[in-house]
Amino acid sequence: MTWTSLNAWVAAPEIFLLCATCAILLLDLFISDAKRHLTYVMTLATLAITFALVLMGHEPQARLAFNGLYLVDPIADFAKLAMIVGVALVLIYGRSYAMARGLFRGELFTLTLFSLLGMMVMASSVNFLALYVGLELMSLSVYALVALNRESFASTEAAMKYFVLGALASGMLLYGVSMLYGSTGSLDIFAVSHAIQTGQANNLLAVFAIVFIVTGLGFKFGAVPFHMWVPDVYQGAPTPITQLIASAPKAAVFVFSLRILAQALEGFAPDWRGMLMVLAVLSMGLGNITAISQTNIKRMLGYSTISHMGFVLLGLLVASPAGYSASFFYVVSYILMSAAAFGVVMLLSRQGFEADQIEDLKGLNQRSPWFAAMMLFTMFSMAGIPIFLGFFAKLAILKVVVDMGLVPLAVIAVVFSLIGAFYYLRIVKVMYFDDAVDQSPLIAGNDAKLVLSINCLLLLVLGFMPDGLMNLLSDAVSQSFTSLPY
Amino acid sequence: MTLALFYIFAAVLIFAAFRVITAKNPVHAVLYLVLSFFNSAVLWMLIKAEFLAVSLIVIYVGAVMVLFLFVVMMLDINFEALRKSFWKFLPVAGTVAIIMLIEMVMILSHRAAQIDESRLLEPSFNTASAETLGMLIYTQYFLPFQLSAVLLLVGMIAAIALTLRKRKNTKYINPGEQVRVKRDDRLRIVKMASEPKDSASDAQSTDQPAA
């Protein structure tokens, strides 16, 4: 056991992130409230350096570290880049919102960074122990962030619900993992996969384990019937934290599921495909239909997340690298879309006013034609209207599903997307055809306005040329599945 | 010798466990629970599981039971009132107890539970199990171990962030800061145009500019 066998350099981004977060935690104690923007700047700098380190360490070849517990492969690299961007967008859009509500405290930044660390560990671990610790690190930080606004009754209630249901889900997952250990005798992803393929595993126990694991993953995705926490938490949490929950963790949970289902339990694909199919159809159905009757925009976006996760599960259940890359593309575009949607919600909020009702968007075109157009892009993209990014994400999923011969499933997905288009287009109608009740100007900082505009324009630009991103992600998936270090 | 020790400590353990449920005073019950944990730790020591024994004492006796004592002392629970409903809950509690008894008998009479001394795991290479565990934690499982430390740190930050409150309405003053006060902190000099005499005749005494 030496430093070379630890191969820690491979995990340089995570190690840097941990050290920098601890440094920010300490430095923040000596910064007065008036100079809190220093913490903000340090946090963004940390994110930028971590981003650069991930980019510099990127190689098509997968590499192991920490005695085989940690794997850095192209999927993990791209997922990490998406997560870092997602977290940075949360902080940029949420800055003035947090300042106006007394949330602009050191803990907001340190807990966000710790949750990012948890997500990065989830994306890169190939041992169930490390995977689980990563998941808990992410979840625990997010539970605390939801409750950070402790004067708000809704936030406390949301945090309580999230904590209890999240702990239950973790318990389910852990129970499944312990059964899998009993069945295969290992906690290592590749050893489990090897044991299953050589027929050394106890199959009955393994199938039971899959039921529990899929249940746990369903909770973390927020897929129906394990979605109960999603609307309440989305509505109750402070909006920047809602954006955090809705964006970066989705990429982490996606890679997490990929490691467990596609890499460890590859041999049982016929078993988990059926389960995912039920989850996907229910999520798309219930998510889209229930979203129609919502009046609160955060709650509506919560149900919209549920339906989008149904689409991601559709790609996963194809159980081929083509399906995984379609899902990966969907997750990355969803991060951009949800960040933009919550960015606009926060742009409309101000001191003492929470723009969380759909009515608050009335006549946005009269107040700010530019941001009305930006929200229009986001909603069109989410609804899957052609030339926007969301359309190509849905198209990629539908294509692999049809190639697989599951035409009825594709038809169901299209029908539910059409139903879903109603509530996205209602937002557009409210913005353009209703008169503004509230005439106050938008007072967010210029940085947030600029980044939000770029984010929304990206939905259009990437919609014009989705091939670059699509090829990048599908190459990453195929490289990761062909260059396993075993 | 080992057998004699086992019977002595097992007898104390059973006595302590019995006192936990019969003691009138809840603080005594908790103390008897501490005693029973101690004795079970010794029993583990006798089957050469010294790491389990030590961690039982450190975690349960050292941390969990102290917390328990605090809770028992802080909450004003009327245990006499709770005890009155003893007969009401006896049927349900008795059923649960009988089911658990049957399960334990079934497990203990199973072949796999018949452990004799020859089947006990001998510590390898003359090292203690704590040492082996430590070697594994700091080499093979270095990553999850370090991440668990981060997890505890996050728990600490979250607990402080969610509960620490500054008292707003205290009348406390810092004499040091009072002495160091400067004129600029208390007095603001405002330049303003003088007003015509006739309209401001009644406000003359208060509107004198300071400079």
Q: Is the pLDDT of residue B141 over 80?
A: yes
What is the reported pLDDT for A356?
A: 85
Put simply, whether A140 touches B (Cβ < 8 Å) is yes
What is the reported pLDDT for A218?
A: 95
Best probe of the A interface among B152, B154, B157, by most A CBs < 10 A, is: B154
pTM score, two decimals?
0.87
What is the reported pLDDT for B199?
A: 56
User: From CA A10, how far away is CA A69, in angstroms rounded?
Assistant: 12
Q: Which helix (H) or strand (E) holds A63?
A: strand A63-65
Q: Report the SS3 class of residue A199.
A: coil
Average pLDDT, chain B: 82
CB atoms B139 and A67 under 8 Å: yes
Q: Is the pLDDT of residue B207 over 70?
A: no
Size of interface A-B (CB pairs under 8 A): 64
What is the reported pLDDT for A158?
A: 94
Least confident of A176-180, A332-336, B90-94: B90-94
User: Which among A290, A292, A351 has a CA at the least distance from the CA of A100?
Assistant: A351
Best probe of the B interface among A16, A29, A114, A143, by most B CBs < 10 A, is: A114
Give DSSP secondary structure letters for A455-473. HHHHHHHHHH--HHHHHHH
Q: Which of B139, B141, B158 sits opposite A111 (nearest CB)?
A: B158
User: Residues A390-421: pLDDT tens digits?
Assistant: 999 999 999 999 999 999 999 999 999 999 99
User: From CA A401, how far away is CA A316, in angstroms rounded?
Assistant: 10
Beta bridge partners of A154: none
CB atoms B144 and A69 under 8 Å: yes
Q: Is the pLDDT of residue A1 over 80?
A: no
Considering only CB atoms, which chain A residues are within 8 Å of B155?
140
User: From CA A256, how far away is CA A126, in angstroms rounded?
Assistant: 9
User: Residues A2-31: pLDDT tens digits?
Assistant: 666 778 889 999 999 999 999 999 999 999
What is the reported pLDDT for A457?
A: 94
Burial of A270 (0-12, 13-18, 19+ CB in 10 A): exposed
What is the reported pLDDT for B52?
A: 87
User: Residues A48-82: pLDDT tens digits?
Assistant: 999 999 999 998 888 888 988 999 999 999 999 99
Put simply, whether A144 touches B (Cβ < 8 Å) is yes
- Closest residue in B to A144 (Cα) is B158
- Closest residue in A to B152 (Cα) is A137
Q: Report the SS3 class of residue A367.
A: helix
CB atoms A69 and B157 under 8 Å: no
Residues whose CB falls within 8 Å of the CB of residue A124, separated by 6 or more in sequence, listed in order: A11, A14, A70, A71, A72, A76, A80
Q: Which of B144, B154, B158 sits opposite A129 (nearest CB)?
A: B144
What is the reported pLDDT for B177?
A: 73
What's the gap in Å between the CA of B162 and the closest CA on chain A? Answer: 6
CB atoms A147 and B162 under 8 Å: yes
Q: Is the pLDDT of residue B48 over 60?
A: yes
Put simply, whether A107 touches B (Cβ < 8 Å) is yes
Q: Is the pLDDT of residue A237 over 70?
A: yes
Q: Which of B139, B142, B155 sits opposite A140 (nearest CB)?
A: B155
Least confident of A163-167, A222-226, A341-345, B24-28: B24-28
What is the reported pLDDT for A112?
A: 96
Token pair belonging to A349 = 């909020």
Report yes or no: A364 and A371 within 8 Å, Cβ to Cβ.
Answer: yes
Token pair belonging to B192 = 């303003």
What is the reported pLDDT for B128?
A: 67
User: Residues A199-228: pLDDT tens digits?
Assistant: 888 889 999 999 999 999 999 999 989 999
CB atoms B143 and A134 under 8 Å: no
Average pLDDT, chain A: 92
Average pLDDT in the A142-163 region?
A: 92
Report yes or no: B107 and B113 within 8 Å, Cβ to Cβ.
Answer: yes
What is the reported pLDDT for A45?
A: 97
What is the reported pLDDT for B74?
A: 82
Least confident of A153-162, A323-332, B49-58: B49-58
Considering only CB atoms, which chain A residues are within 8 Å of B150?
18, 114, 117, 137
Put simply, whether A191 touches B (Cβ < 8 Å) is no
Residue with tokens 């990761």: A480
User: Which among A470, A453, A448 has a CA at the least distance from the CA of A392?
Assistant: A470
Put simply, whether A133 touches B (Cβ < 8 Å) is yes
User: Residues A300-326: pLDDT tens digits?
Assistant: 999 999 999 999 999 999 989 999 999
Average pLDDT in the B167-188 region?
A: 76
Token pair belonging to A283 = 């999520």
CB atoms A141 and B154 under 8 Å: yes
Average pLDDT in the A455-483 region?
A: 90
Give DSSP secondary structure letters for A315-366. HHHT-SHHHHHHHHHHHHHHHHHHHHHHHHHHHH-BTTB---BGGGGTTHHH
Q: Determine the straight-line distance between the first and last CA of chain A, rounded to whole angstroms.
A: 20
Q: Which of B142, B147, B161 sits opposite A6 (nearest CB)?
A: B142
Considering only CB atoms, which chain B residues are within 8 Å of A67?
139-140, 142-143
Percentage of chain A modeled with pLDDT above 70: 99
Q: Which of B142, B148, B155 sits opposite A133 (nearest CB)?
A: B148
Going through chain B in order, the beta strands assigned E by DSSP cover: none
What is the longest distance spanned by two Cα atoms in chain B? Answer: 113
CB atoms B150 and A18 under 8 Å: yes
Residue with tokens 């997560």: A83
Q: Which residues of B149-168 are buried (b: 16+ CB within 10 A; e: fewer)?
A: ebbebbeebbeebbeeeeee
Considering only CB atoms, which chain A residues are within 8 Å of B154?
111, 114, 137, 140-141, 144
What's the gap in Å between the CA of A66 and the closest CA on chain B? Answer: 6
User: Residues A177-197: pLDDT tens digits?
Assistant: 999 999 999 999 999 999 999
Best probe of the B interface among A109, A136, A151, A186, by most B CBs < 10 A, is: A136
Token pair belonging to B77 = 């629970």
Percentage of chain B modeled with pLDDT above 90: 32
What is the longest distance spanned by two Cα atoms in chain A? Answer: 70
